[in-house]
Amino acid sequence: MKILHKICFVLLFATFSSAYAGSCFEIPYDVADCKVRAEKGGATAQYNLGGMYDNGYYGVPQNYKEAVKWYRKAAEQGLAEAQYNLGIMYETGEGVLQDDKEAVKWYRKAAVQGYADAQYNLGVMYRNGDGVLQNYKEAVKWYRKAAEQGYAKAQYNLGVMYENGRGVLQDYKEAVKWYRKAAEQGLAQAQYNLGWMYGNGLGITQDYKEAVVWYRKAAEQGHAGAQYYLGVMYAYGKGVVQDYKEAVVWYRKAAEQGFASAQYYLGVMYRNGEGVLQDYKQAVKWYRKAAEQGHAKAQYNLGLRYANGQGVPNDYVMAHMYWNIAAVSGYKGAIKNRGLIEKDMTSSQIAEAQKLAREWMRKH
């Protein structure tokens, strides 16, 4: 996923001399002077004025059309920052009709000047086929240019390309190299991926302790996947002393962010009384949340809870319904259980369960 960000909040200043008569050196104190300089053709002033209209800074009313107008003037003079921001405006459709091709055009102009943000965005456009034909090799080319300038998101994405063999030969060692560069800059997704590589011995010697180190760094930044896997490491004692209470802590953090596997395993902890007091109602609560996201094991376990009356009233219709759903999700054990329970159900109950399953799947 690309998080678009403009740089217009960073005001550009030039050394005050006749060579920079169009600059906005006094911008924080004199907006009127900046406008005058922009009207006279000063590219930096035009860019800064565009930024003020873009964000509504310094008493200037927010106006995306005006922002585009001034970014364009600066961009046409070759100012990379303005070219990049103009690309953002076209990609997001702010102040102009949304146009990925125009976004690519302006990103490219800034990218060939070495502007890392634009190089990264151009890489994303090629990866996704937005405004250009999808081309992983071109994506890798532009990610690499930004990555070599230390751009963390480009380093991470370059790692992804190496891990998956897109635009380059699959190479886990290279993936680890680029994940590490981004991880060391604090990028949570890269820290998570680096933890995964250590945990699975991909491109590096398997090392659960190192996996835990990187999962924790990402987890403490709120990365749900890392929180979940940190919970797994505590639950199974991999790289850390087994600790069910800590497992529950991290499962819960991820579960509350909607991470389905964490919701399921938090349900398991409540069902088994591991790290928490056994509580079938809480188990059902978390199974249900995961089930509604399509988690087959959670759907299957909800069926068990209804069949056995644990945390919910005993209800064969509901058990059959959830096993129907789990079977559609690919959980083979659900088919066997569904067949067994049908022996104790009437034909009308079976028909009702099937109807409820269809309605549930349409809703979810």
Residues 6+ apart with CB under 8 A from 241: none
Question: Distance between CA atoms of 72 and 6, rounded to whole angstroms?
Answer: 14
The 10s digit of each residue's pLDDT in 319-339 is 999 999 999 999 988 999 999
Per DSSP, 130 falls in state: S
% of the chain surpassing 90 pLDDT = 88
The 10s digit of each residue's pLDDT in 5-33 is 555 444 554 332 223 334 443 445 478 88
The 10s digit of each residue's pLDDT in 89-110 is 999 999 999 999 999 999 999 9
Question: Distance between CA atoms of 217 and 230, rounded to whole angstroms?
Answer: 10
Q: What pLDDT, on the 0 to 100 scale, is given for residue 293?
A: 95
Q: What pLDDT, on the 0 to 100 scale, is given for residue 58?
A: 86
Burial profile 98-126: b = 16 or more Cβ within 10 angstroms, e = fewer = eebebbbbbbbbbbeeebbbbbbbbbbbb
Radius of gyration of the chain from its Cα atoms, rounded to whole angstroms: 27
Q: Whole-number mean pLDDT of the chain?
A: 92
Instruction: Compare 311 and 332 and report the one with higher pLDDT.
Output: 311
Q: What pLDDT, on the 0 to 100 scale, is given for residue 225?
A: 98
Within 10 Å of residue 285's Cβ, how many Cβ atoms? Answer: 15
* Residue reference for tokens 């590096």: 204
Question: Distance between CA atoms of 96 and 101, rounded to whole angstroms?
Answer: 13
Question: Distance between CA atoms of 220 and 238, rounded to whole angstroms?
Answer: 19
Residue 189, both tokens: 């997704």
Q: What pLDDT, on the 0 to 100 scale, is given for residue 30?
A: 76
Measured over the CA atoms of residue 308, residue 309, residue 315 and residue 318, the dihedral's sign is: negative
pLDDT at residue 295 greater than cutoff 60? yes
The 10s digit of each residue's pLDDT in 172-195 is 999 999 999 999 999 999 999 999
Residue 255, both tokens: 């579960």
Report in angstroms the alpha-carbon separations of 255 from 94, 190, 212, 250. Answer: 35, 21, 19, 8
For the chain, the domains span 1-144
Q: What pLDDT, on the 0 to 100 scale, is given for residue 320?
A: 96
CATH architecture of 1-144: Alpha Horseshoe (1.25)
pTM of the prediction? Answer: 0.88
Question: Distance between CA atoms of 316 and 309, rounded to whole angstroms?
Answer: 9
The 10s digit of each residue's pLDDT in 237-266 is 999 999 999 999 999 999 999 999 999 999
Q: What pLDDT, on the 0 to 100 scale, is given for residue 5?
A: 53
Q: Could you give the 3-state DSSP secondary structure of residue 225?
A: helix
Q: What is the mean pLDDT of residues 137-165?
A: 98
Question: Distance between CA atoms of 114 and 319, rounded to whole angstroms?
Answer: 60
pLDDT at residue 222 greater than cutoff 90? yes
Rounded to a whole number, what is the largest CA-CA distance in the chain?
A: 92
* 4: confidence class by pLDDT, cuts 50, 70, 90: low
Q: What pLDDT, on the 0 to 100 scale, is given for residue 22?
A: 40
Q: What pLDDT, on the 0 to 100 scale, is given for residue 23?
A: 42
Task: Report yes or no: 123 and 143 within 8 Å, Cβ to Cβ.
Answer: yes
Q: Could you give the 3-state DSSP secondary structure of residue 27?
A: coil
Report in angstroms the alpha-carbon separations of 105 from 46, 130, 146, 188, 304. Answer: 20, 12, 17, 31, 57
Please, is 361 exposed, middle or buried when counting C-beta atoms within 10 Å of its C-beta (0-12, 13-18, 19+)? middle
Question: Distance between CA atoms of 361 and 345, rounded to whole angstroms?
Answer: 22
